[in-house]
Chain A
Amino acid sequence: MAGYILKRLISAIPVLFGISIIVFVIMAMIPGDPATAILGSYATPENVEKLNRDLGLDKPMVLRYFIWLGNMLQGDFGRSFSLNREVLDEVLERFGATLVLAGTAFVLCSILGVAAGVVSAARQYGFADKAITFAVLLGISIPSFFLGMMMILIFAVQLRWFPVSGMWPIYGARDLSALISHLTLPALALAVVATGVIARLSRSAMLEVLRQDFIRTARAKGVHERSVIWRHALRAAMVSIIPVLGVQAGFVLSGAVYIEMVFQWPGVGRMLVDAILKRDILLVQGGVVFVAACYVMFNIAVDVAQSMLDPRIKT
């Protein structure tokens, strides 16, 4: 198992390399030069040229890429001009908040989605199946940002069950209960779309498995139907559900940007949007590379989980 994990980690290196190249190339497409963006259009040509030299922008592109990569590997993501702060510090702080939000939403959508899919398949064409199918359709069709706004309107403004926005109360203790009450609405809003997608896929994966011969064997053994569904069928269906969980984790992680805007959540997505509007390229670059790298690592964890679940995969 340790060997397999190591092998997967090594195989991630070219992917991470590719990601850094893609981000760098996208950022290099930017028209105009960053120095003008930083100094404003009234800057003197001398100052622009000096800043370009300071930023290393006068060097050839390939060289610039390796300097940037080398610095990143040493933990130097550069300095954000709009925040006047180290990019890495800002990204780490913001990413923590995103991780709390997206992590909670991911756990929610995995559990709810798989459970809904299993119930739906087990009660195929029954009332529960139809109700779940309709809810899923609604869930995957509603824009998460609109859903978030409606949740604020109903549960925060009308019913006053939860705070309207933010991660922490302005006054008062920053404890777990405060976090949970702030987290509930955004995590739910973020989880809804992924829950729908996962439920849909789990349902069809379960239907596929339930027709297999080993399900008939389990029934012939006299195993209780509940156990046939949740033990035999679900275990086999998880083999095709888990990769989808990995994909959905990417959607939840990056879809968090909408929810962070709606709920004023201090996450990395909102930081990126602000940085884009202010044309703070180093901050965008650093943020994107960091989040994408974390996602690659998460996908390795998914593969490892998959191999632990399926003994037929050679590790």
Chain B
Amino acid sequence: MGFLSLLARNRLALGGLIVMILVVLLALVTPLLPLADPDVTNTAERFQKPFSDGALLGTDHLGRDLLSRLLWGTRLSLAVGFAAAIMAATIGAAIGIIAGFYGGRTDNIIMRGVDMLMAFPYILLALAIVAALGPGLMNALIAVAAVNIPFFARNIRGITVGIAHKEFIDAARLSGMNNAKIILSEVLPNVIPVIVIAMSTTVGWMILETAGLSFLGLGSQPPQADLGSMLGEARSALITNPHTSIVPGAMILIIVMAINLLGDGVRDALDPRLKSGALSRPMPATMVRRDGPIPTADDDALLALRGLKTQFHVKDRVYKAVGGVDLSVRPGECLGVIGESGSGKSVTALSIMGLVASPPGVITGGAVHYKGEDLIGAPYEKLRSLRGDRIAYIFQDPLATLHPLYTIGDQLIEAVRAHHGMGRAAARAHAIDLLKSVRIPNADKRVDSYPHEMSGGMRQRVGIAMALANEPEVIIADEPTTALDVTVQAQILSLLDDLRRDRGLAIIFITHDFGVVAQLCDRVAVMYAGKIVEEGPTNVILNAPAHPYTSRLMACVPELGQGRRELAAIPGLPPVVDNLPEGCAFADRCQKVREGCRAGTIALAAHGASQRVRCIAPETALPEVSA
């Protein structure tokens, strides 16, 4: 039912379906209609124009009524097209099921044969078959069906191979069923939907191809006529009496187009990726739809996020991935942003330069001030000129984030040349220097390597080199060491730390690892369900976490040399951000939950001299202020 309603929602497919039903109905009732005999010739009345007396669509070169011939021809073309489709589907599916089910040698021999047939240019094979069988509609039908068999065989074999190793097949075998019975009762029902889809997408082709063979004079023979042979006969009178060609030609076009529309609709309705809209392409910059006042630049930080809100709009649901985040970073400072998966830390990082995939991402509020200038809603060209030049990213998993088909040298050179008019030779020398600066051995050779030829650690260094290409002021590193082993991770961290000290880089370091934070960051912000729950100097927070979530998160980290300590996982899961509870989002998982936790909005309030926390009952009591 869901499938039908999806199909109905696709208006084009519905249109195709209606046209197809009309054409089929017309073909079915043709013998009952008061039409002239399609084969009676009357050369005195030849080439009557359309809308003339007694012949609505005119007459052809032998004076036969075109309307009558059109309807009878449509009937024949449809019948032949569908028959060819059913024939090809049946035989092709049978071959595919046998090859896929038995596997091994049987499969090998059959598929070799199928590959041979597919090595032929399509229509050429049909011509060869008609040449052997002789011209005629039935033979054309056989030829068209035969050349389509490999297509079905290949598709169905693929599906069958997947099914043949499922548990229910083994179960059927154990229960003593023989192969033929298993194929009929277990395999076939599972492949029939695939057969139907494949048919719906190919029946248009089959109608076209049989019409084509008839057009060439190799299909239906006079006086019997399908749409193709009507067109073929009309060809000689094309210039003098074009209506005899247009009538059957337009009919083929209408039928094939309706079938194609319907086939596309069926395919879309069945493809789950299209249903969720996931096949949307992300735009060059994240969509911005800010309502409410836009915060103004209020401090002298290099980069400051103020009340940033980013949401994902998927169908009628709204996921509030980032729900009003304030962060700032100064030159030479490293800010850690820590949280579980799904806490919104990566989305926060990507929002800064408008890199959140959109659709479905939308920035709905707040501001990102770079040197006092708001980047949210800045024109694309402004964003582009800053991306990679002043504010650069390092991403996780460099195998996916580097282009697989360009050498790392090309990718580094491009990073430079996107912003600076540098000659290729100079840019290449610069690329080699960059690789050296991230301590890649044999940099002048490695520059010509492709990403897949390098190790994970080396690729990550390339990612860092790329971020450094234009000596940016801010680097946003999104879990750059997560995929690496511990020793490589330590090297990369010390590399980043050196760069920050040498060049005065500001770093925003996204991670879920407190060890990394302790090693690298001056300050840390803890995120939960799209909000910052605690923020302050790293040593203060590590020694005295104020938010219950922070202390629970830290309790999850195993420590060396601490003997046996119970590792505490946090019970429960983070809330789904499309329906956040009122009050504290952590309340349901918090051991200290009390009255007042689930009401109103809890503010990020100052806690001691340097810490801020979003909790009505912070873990640590403030040190007594002695007079």
Q: Which residues of chain A have a CB within 8 Å of any CB of chain B?
A: 15, 18-19, 22-23, 26-27, 29-31, 121-122, 124, 137-138, 140-143, 145-146, 149-150, 152-153, 157, 164, 204, 206-208, 210-225, 227-228, 232, 235-236, 239, 250-251, 253-255, 257-258, 261-262, 269, 272-273, 275-277, 279, 281, 284, 288, 291-292, 295-296, 299, 309-312
Contacts and interface: CB of A to CB of B under 8 A. Distances in A.
A292 B121 contact: yes
B281 A29 contact: no
Contacts of A152: 238-239
Given A141-B260, A273-B218, A281-B131, A220 B280 contact: no
29 contacts: A18-B116, A19-B120, A22-B120, A27-B131, A30-B132, A124-B280, A137-B261, A137-B264, A142-B253, A143-B249, A143-B252, A145-B231, A210-B281, A213-B395, A216-B355, A217-B393, A217-B402, A219-B387, A220-B388, A222-B415, A223-B415, A235-B403, A258-B215, A269-B127, A299-B119, A310-B405, A311-B452, A312-B405, A312-B450
B419 interface: yes
Contact of B401 (A30, A216, A227): A216
B128 interface: yes
B121 A251 contact: yes
B245 interface: yes
A211 B403 contact: no
Given A18-B112, A153-B238, A250-B122, 12 more contacts: A211-B279, A216-B395, A222-B384, A222-B387, A224-B384, A224-B418, A225-B380, A258-B216, A261-B216, A281-B131, A284-B131, A312-B450
Contacts of A225: 284, 380, 384
B124 A273 contact: no
Interface in B194-224: 204, 208, 211-212, 215-218
B79 interface: no
Contacts of B403: 214, 217-218, 232, 235-236
B168 interface: no
Contacts of B452: 311-312
Interface residues of B, number: 79
B117 interface: yes
A75 B587 CA distance: 86
**Of A26, A29, A137, most B-chain CB atoms within 10 Å:** A26
Contacts of A141: 204, 253, 256-257, 260
A239 B405 contact: yes
Contacts of A145: 212, 215, 231
B129 interface: yes
**Of A211, A221, A291, most B-chain CB atoms within 10 Å:** A221
Contacts of B27: none
Interface string B110-149: 0011011101111110011111111100000000000000
Interface in B272-299: 278-282, 284
Interface of B: 112-113, 115-117, 119-124, 127-135, 204, 208, 211-212, 215-218, 231, 235, 238-239, 242, 245-246, 249, 252-253, 256-257, 260-261, 264, 278-282, 284, 350, 353, 355, 357, 380, 384-389, 392-393, 395, 397, 400-406, 414-415, 418-419, 450, 452, 466, 469
Nearest to A255: B123
Contacts of A210: 281-282
Contacts of B239: 152-153, 157, 164
B128 A213 contact: no
B405 A273 contact: no
Contacts of A288: 124, 127-128, 131
Contacts of A281: 131
A85 B322 CA distance: 79
B349 to A, nearest CB: 10
A221 B387 contact: yes
A225 B117 CA distance: 43
A23 B128 contact: yes
Nearest to A153: B242
B130 A276 contact: yes
Contacts of A140: 260
A225 B132 CA distance: 56
Contacts of B466: 217, 221
Contacts of A212: 400
A210 B252 CA distance: 37
Nearest to A144: B212
A210 B403 CA distance: 12
A311 B249 contact: no
B116 A213 contact: no
A287 B393 CA distance: 60
Nearest to A262: B235
A30 B129 CA distance: 9
Contacts of A275: 131
Nearest to B466: A221
**Of A122, A224, A275, most B-chain CB atoms within 10 Å:** A224
Contacts of B414: 218, 221, 223
